[in-house]
Structure 1
Amino acid sequence: MFRTLVCFVLLGAAPAHVLADAVPSEEAVEGLFTDQTFSPYANRNFPERPLWGDSHLHTGLSLDAGAFGNTLLPDDAWRFAKGEQVISSTGHPVRLARPLDWMVLTDHTDLMGFAPDLQAGKPGILADPKGLEWYEGYIAGGEEAGKAAFDIITNFSQMTLPEILLKSYSPGADAFAFTWEQIVMAAEEHNDPGTFTAFIGFEWTSVPKGFNLHRNVMLRDGPIRALQMVPPVTQPPFGDTDPKALYSWLEEYQEKTGGRAVAFAHNGNLSNGWMFPTEDTYHGGKVDEDYVAARAKWEPHYEVTQIKGDGEAHPFLSPDDEFADYENWDVGNLDITELKTEDMLAGEYAREALKRGLMLEEKFGVNPYKFGMGGATDSHTSLATAEEDNFFGKSVSVEPSASRIKHPFIANENGEIPGDLLVASGYTAVWATDNTRAAIFDAFKRRETYATTGPRIGLRFFGGWDFSDADVETRFIADVGYTKGVPMGSDLRPREGDGAPSFLIAALRDPVGANLDRVQVVKGWLDSDGAMQEKVYDVAWSDDRVADQNGKVPAVGNTVDVETASWTNTIGTAELVKVWSDPDFDPNDRAFYYVRALEIPTPRWILYDKLRFGTDLPEDAVLTHQERAYSSPIWYTPAE
């Protein structure tokens, strides 16, 4: 009879009377079933799909966003991210093509609550001459509103904000506390564990001398912990622009509340070399044991691509990398009050920072730049749009219109960053076991994330010592990857045998996007002389192209029709899977490896503007690009 029961269970459901009459004893089934189930999907304890989100978005509560005319508040931003249609501040109906899985709202903390009161013309603001001037500019709209907004930002970066306004909208003021509570409770209202995760967060806006040192902060917690403290600011006497001041706040937050928090920087390309220091001093102090330990503890993630430029690599730093010139912004600091010089670039880009981290680890025993990769929009419209055909710009002043390309991001006597250089980027994919605050936050901490410039490219990257070509034949890449190696964001396990590390890589095109061109591995290492080195390897590619004697693969081609802003997937491939072993491995050298996956060329957002508005494009405008994904690195450390 027991045999009959097993047959019924395997085929479907057993009749109720059989289950009632013949439930086997524990002794009878002992040894019958093993840990290896028939279903390859049962008992999995690893992340099975990437969760897509934006870790950096501003609403009309932010000083600059509100000054530029953003009237959308957190509720609007959350609803939009979840897939609802909203009306933008300029009156456009707008909706995402695909909802996000999670998001962090990161309104600026300095002068929190000021922007809505400015828009409303509150008496306390109008009583101050500067406040009245800014309000009149805002009400006038158009160019006058833009001038007022830039004047506010200039006064902020130069720390010349009117004292009465600063005091009224800083920690200790009712408006500041009320706005923080509004942010926290809106996130809680929209948090839906298992379906959509709404993180409580903020942006700490350090910008000494106009050099961008901003950090976003993401809390793992809900309102019970988040409301026990208010976020820090940078304007004296209420705050400090030294990153150690932020680290102190994070330490206090965790000790006081029992909660968890992480910080992550962005736009090193606008820091004029200050983002990733290695010298004895940095802004505010020394690069010493305390600094590297604190940065390693609190910053496990870096925002490598966003609206204000892509920050993976630069051709000056990586002259042998033909794809290092992607969406670079290298004119100067955030407000172009100081122009860029070549010696600044090494302190600004992620790849160079990863190499510098190896050097600092050699010196201090701790790597402060051991970060995972992510992307975000940094939109100040409340709209997390990173798609080229649905791009709503950086701020309300450059939401879709026939003339928005003519509006520079910034312009002064030193130069400008033209409007057509804004980047429709990016998103972060998180390999998390559940769509919850805890699971996604923990994935950030272990760096199991990757960045894309917008497309939802699937990317797996595992490192180990015994992956083989046979492993690419399985359809269960993750099973093999987690069993035989470690995922992106990890350290390689101790070396086994005398061989080089091997890596299992799988890239899948966005289901509604462009085919893939190639997959590359970027390696950085510290050689025996202590010099930082790098190399980019083409490891898998589409079509019938053949690598040359230097390992370089020819361009994939270009199917973009610039007149119709369209392309065809007649080149490239849907999937690239490869096991690759480092041919230049030296077991004595500290190293890191990460994957860069490239799509075939597609139109940039300005071509869609030309198609829809008849916009005249600048003669030198870049019309097409190759969107991409960046995995978090895997690190190798020699045995002691």
Structure 2
Amino acid sequence: MNYHRTTALAAILLTLAPAAQAQFKPSKESLEGLYPGKAYSPYAQRSFPSQVFWGDSHLHTSLSPDAGLFGNTLGLDEAWRFARGEEVTSATGLPAKLGRPLDWMALTDHSDMMGFATGLFAGDPAITGTEQGRGWYEAFQQGGDASTAAALDLITNFAQGTLDPALVEAYSPGSAAYDSVWQDVIDAAERYNEPGRFTAFIAYEWTSLVAGNNLHRNVILRDDAARAEQVVPMVTQPPVGSTDPLDLYAWLEGYESKTGGKALALAHNGNLSNGLMFPVDAQYTGRALDETYVSLRNRWEPLYEITQIKGDGETHPYLSPDDEFADYETWDAGNLDLSEAKTPEMLAGEYAREALKQGLALEGKFGTNPYKFGFSGATDSHTSLTTAEEDNYFGKATSAEPSITRVLHPFTETENGIFPGWSLVASGYTGVWATENTREAIWDAMARKEVYATTGPRITVRFFGGWEFDDNDLRSRAPAFAGYDKGVPMGADLRKATSEAPTFMVYALRDPIGANLDRIQIVKGWMDAEGALHEKVYDVAWSGDRTPDADGKLPPVGNTVDEEAANFTNTIGASELATIWTDPEFDAAQQAFYYARVLEIPTPRWVLYDKLRLGAVIPEDAITVGQERAYTSPIWYTPKG
């Protein structure tokens, strides 16, 4: 700022008569040097996104076969109302309400046999007219153990592809029942979509499950009913469906060609794919990775669901042994149904950080990076209730809604391992930097990857990369002006180099009703001249007067959790953290990516609230305290020439 000019202008104005002062109209040019924005008002003529909108990109209602069969009776209306902040009654009869409404949501019921469970309970003749369907219907009418056994038998037959073909046909795209349900999905999203207040996306989950290995993708449309009504979702069951992602990409291409609309897909839960989510040499079909695969995956999958109820998917301690925070909400016993146990060599094909690194190598081979994705977070709840708050957690399914025994009831258990009930995760949400709360603006932000994931808290995070950031850029309560002017936001590629090493501006504000912040870290991945892949985690900003030790490790922030009271205090940590960081080991010849990870101070996990409120007995091996976090989408560097 030009302080001499400011003082002179003030002195002149003080000598003017009131009438003259009223006639003084500063031009935009006269404000240059006085204020770095385009106009005096920092909110005028602002073109970059200035708000973060919170949402869930993955939720199921009773229309999903597994959700409905295992007791979820809440439909589309209850799910939308709950997300918008209204109180509803859960399927187990409990009153439920979010602490704060969401800004947007994608309701993603499974596309395969969507509505089958509700049809079964209603006694649809197309179902009861088959021997399989009649047996299940009668068992559900009995209730109790018979009902549970029927649900398990039905899900097993679905997963193994042994359903009566007549049942599949009755609830496949093109059937009257299926098309009616899809219309209901569209109509509900239209009813609850309120531009400027709440965005309701038309969406579904394509549920590719290969021998129990989770390859699911959520498909989110940018469009309204006029376009969505021209298609039916992609399914996996034969004869019309496929479990091959290449066929899903063809569906997406067909949707855009037919309707003129836009769609994207995001993969999720790679930690339960037993190595199949991020192939390097060949897909599960045996088809070798080629230019077609890498280009299509790059085009259609801009985001990856890095955290959700079934574990955190950033990295694994086996893959990142030097990362002291790598073992967070880890699910590594096996695949989705534990039909196959996990082996160490599978892990590289399952986690986001490793995929980002492998993407650099694949780009060197094919010219396109198939794993150049941003990060989203979601619940994947099958209760119709999008709860990611530790103190308001309604579980994965109705069997995991609040009860004195849910911490003891395994999510899955076979001879290959167990996912204990207490290990379910109250996670996560996606923060979207968008210009307004509309389908178009939020979807566009997803497509350009200007989004980030959290494990539940609504931490505000900005992350910019450039070549000329300095400490003066943080001497403002609105550093985003400098962020966009001098660099690029999360999800983008660094511009052409203008200095010897890139600089990054990152700042974070704690959730207004949440925990203080421990630290900000920047995670770097790169490929050296020999093609070897590397990673490193840097502590770049932290609370208190801690000093890194001789090994460069920052001491722990401390722990204020009172486990008996399920409480914590913000007497440690910081309400906000910010820094300008320059990569000290930058090599202009090496491909690289960078993302920020923001850690809160330790807080109680949901199991402690069950103990306090319900008297639940917590198993000795249960994790009771954790450090919740945010993950920004990466920024990439590619050598030129």
Cα distance in structure 1, aligned partners of 2:168 and 2:17: 79
1:412 equivalenced with 2:425 (yes/no):
no
The CA deviation at 1:567 is: 0.5
Matches within 5 A, 1:137-286: 137-283=139-285, 285-286=287-288
Q: Secondary structure at the match of 1:405?
A: coil
User: Contact between 2:276 and 2:283, CA under 8 Å: does it hold in 1?
Assistant: no
Q: Secondary structure at the match of 1:199?
A: strand
Structure 1 counterpart of 2:4: none
User: Contact between 1:427 and 1:451, CA under 8 Å: does it hold in 2?
Assistant: yes
* Residues 270-318 of structure 1: per-residue CA shift (max 9 Å, x gap): 0000000001444363210000000000000000000011000100000
User: Contact between 1:146 and 1:397, CA under 8 Å: does it hold in 2?
Assistant: no
User: Contact between 1:398 and 1:404, CA under 8 Å: does it hold in 2?
Assistant: yes
The CA deviation at 1:130 is: 2.3
Q: Secondary structure at the match of 1:218?
A: strand
Output the TM-score relative to the length of structure 2. Answer: 0.95
Cα distance in structure 2, aligned partners of 1:59 and 1:365: 41
Give the direction of change, closer, same or farther, for the CA distance of 1:536–1:109 in structure 2 (3 Å limit): same
Residue of structure 2 aligned with 1:335, choices 323, 332, 337: 337
* Residues 191-225 of structure 1: per-residue CA shift (max 9 Å, x gap): 00011000000000000111100000000000000
User: Contact between 1:112 and 1:175, CA under 8 Å: does it hold in 2?
Assistant: no
Give the direction of change, closer, same or farther, for the CA distance of 1:4–1:137 in structure 2 (3 Å limit): farther
Structure 2 counterpart of 1:532: 533
* Residues 377-416 of structure 1: per-residue CA shift (max 9 Å, x gap): 0000000000001100001111111111222111122222
Give the direction of change, closer, same or farther, for the CA distance of 1:31–1:208 in structure 2 (3 Å limit): closer
Residue of structure 2 aligned with 1:396, choices 395, 398, 407: 398
* Residues 402-439 of structure 1: per-residue CA shift (max 9 Å, x gap): 11122211112222211110000000000000100000
Residue of structure 1 aligned with 2:86, choices 84, 92, 101: 84
Cα distance in structure 1, aligned partners of 2:234 and 2:207: 9
Cα distance in structure 1, aligned partners of 2:17 and 2:337: 77
Structure 2 counterpart of 1:21: none
User: Contact between 1:212 and 1:333, CA under 8 Å: does it hold in 2?
Assistant: yes
Cα distance in structure 1, aligned partners of 2:153 and 2:349: 29
Instruction: Indicate the RMSD between aligned Cα atoms, in angstroms.
Output: 1.8
Residue of structure 1 aligned with 2:73, choices 71, 74, 78: 71
Aligned length: 622
Structure 1 counterpart of 2:57: 55
Structure 2 counterpart of 1:452: 454
Give the direction of change, closer, same or farther, for the CA distance of 1:9–1:481 in structure 2 (3 Å limit): farther
User: Contact between 1:64 and 1:152, CA under 8 Å: does it hold in 2?
Assistant: no
Residue of structure 2 aligned with 1:428, choices 427, 430, 448: 430
The CA deviation at 1:145 is: 3.3
The CA deviation at 1:5 is: 7.3
1:583 equivalenced with 2:584 (yes/no):
yes
Structure 1 counterpart of 2:555: 554
Cα distance in structure 1, aligned partners of 2:27 and 2:496: 40
User: Contact between 2:28 and 2:39, CA under 8 Å: does it hold in 1?
Assistant: no
* Residues 316-374 of structure 1: per-residue CA shift (max 9 Å, x gap): 00000010000011011111111110000000000000001100000001000000101
> What is the one-letter code of the residue matched to 1:561?
D
Cα distance in structure 2, aligned partners of 1:437 and 1:270: 30
Cα distance in structure 1, aligned partners of 2:531 and 2:434: 37
The CA deviation at 1:565 is: 0.3
Give the direction of change, closer, same or farther, for the CA distance of 1:6–1:637 in structure 2 (3 Å limit): farther
> What is the one-letter code of the residue matched to 1:429?
G
The CA deviation at 1:31 is: 6.8
Cα distance in structure 2, aligned partners of 1:359 and 1:422: 34
> What is the one-letter code of the residue matched to 1:479?
F
User: Contact between 1:213 and 1:265, CA under 8 Å: does it hold in 2?
Assistant: yes
> What is the one-letter code of the residue matched to 1:569?
N
Identity across matched positions, percent: 62
User: Contact between 1:520 and 1:595, CA under 8 Å: does it hold in 2?
Assistant: yes
Matches within 5 A, 1:235-634: 235-283=237-285, 285-497=287-499, 499-634=500-635
Give the direction of change, closer, same or farther, for the CA distance of 1:454–1:143 in structure 2 (3 Å limit): farther
User: Contact between 1:358 and 1:590, CA under 8 Å: does it hold in 2?
Assistant: yes
The CA deviation at 1:127 is: 2.7
The CA deviation at 1:87 is: 0.8
* Residues 433-479 of structure 1: per-residue CA shift (max 9 Å, x gap): 01000000000010000000000001000000011122222211111
Cα distance in structure 1, aligned partners of 2:435 and 2:390: 30
Residue of structure 2 aligned with 1:107, choices 109, 114, 123: 109
Q: Secondary structure at the match of 1:178?
A: helix
Give the direction of change, closer, same or farther, for the CA distance of 1:415–1:73 in structure 2 (3 Å limit): same
The CA deviation at 1:126 is: 2.2
Cα distance in structure 2, aligned partners of 1:150 and 1:368: 36
> What is the one-letter code of the residue matched to 1:318?
S
User: Contact between 2:60 and 2:107, CA under 8 Å: does it hold in 1?
Assistant: yes
Cα distance in structure 1, aligned partners of 2:20 and 2:414: 79
Structure 1: stretches of 5+ with no match in the other structure? 11-23
Cα distance in structure 1, aligned partners of 2:516 and 2:265: 34
> What is the one-letter code of the residue matched to 2:44?
A
> What is the one-letter code of the residue matched to 1:487?
P
> What is the one-letter code of the residue matched to 1:627?
E
Q: Secondary structure at the match of 1:286?
A: coil
